[in-house]
Amino acid sequence: MAEDFENTLVLVFHPNLESESVANRRLAEAARGVDGVTVRDVYALYPDGDIDVAAEQSELLKADRIVWQFPIYWYSSPSLLKEWEDRVLAYGWAYGPGGDKLAGKTIMCAVTAGSTEDEYQEDGRFRATMDETLNPMRITTEYVGAQWVEPFAVYACTPEGLTEERLADAAERYAEVLRA
């Protein structure tokens, strides 16, 4: 069942999006080309880590769907995403009494990983799937009353593993997911 999203907010968490990230930069560019999608480079907005909580909450309120886009760092997210969650998803706003501002919204992760998809399997090198790796994000999503959807993942995002053809295919698939 496809949902109709009028407003999608893609929050990109990569500390060096423009200078170091080929995959996340290309995915962000693909997202910017989709009608109804707003892309925010959170590290560029807050290079000192001083997050404008009110501005972030305002952007979240406008969205039907929220996408956390980031590279997998040590089987987790970049540090600013955790700081963003701690500050923006505040008690009384995102959870707790009166904390229902994200209820009914949809949240998904769009991630890039340096390792292959085979390594993110129960019998693979990491003995965990990408879904299991992203379980804290799923739990957070459900805790704030939002709906978790299947993550979008691009694997083998290394200079050796990511050809221009694979990158173009990933960007097109991401745009298709965002068009919903």
Give the pLDDT of residue 132.
93
Task: Count other C-beta atoms under 10 Å from residue 81's C-beta.
Answer: 22
Q: Using one digit for the tens of pLDDT, what is the confidence trace for 116-165? A: 888 888 897 888 888 999 999 999 999 999 999 999 999 998 888 889 99
> Contact, 68 vs 107, CB < 8 A?
yes
Rounded to whole angstroms, how far apart are CA atoms 68 and 87?
Answer: 15
Q: How confident is the model at residue 4 (pLDDT cuts 50, 70, 90)?
A: low
- Picking from 149, 157, 111, the residue whose alpha carbon sits closest to that of residue 130 is 111
Residue 102 has pLDDT above 60, yes or no: yes
Calculate mean pLDDT across residues 151-180. Answer: 94
| SS3 (DSSP) at 42 | helix
Q: How confident is the model at residue 1 (pLDDT cuts 50, 70, 90)?
A: very low
Q: How confident is the model at residue 3 (pLDDT cuts 50, 70, 90)?
A: low
| SS3 (DSSP) at 79 | helix
DSSP one-letter code for 146: P
Is the alpha carbon torsion for 34, 131, 89, 77 positive or negative?
negative
Q: Using one digit for the tens of pLDDT, what is the confidence trace for 37-78? A: 999 999 999 999 999 999 999 999 999 999 999 999 988 999
**Percentages (nearest 5) of helix, strand, coil residues in the chain:** 35, 20, 45
The two tokens of residue 38 are 């707003």
Give the pLDDT of residue 2.
45
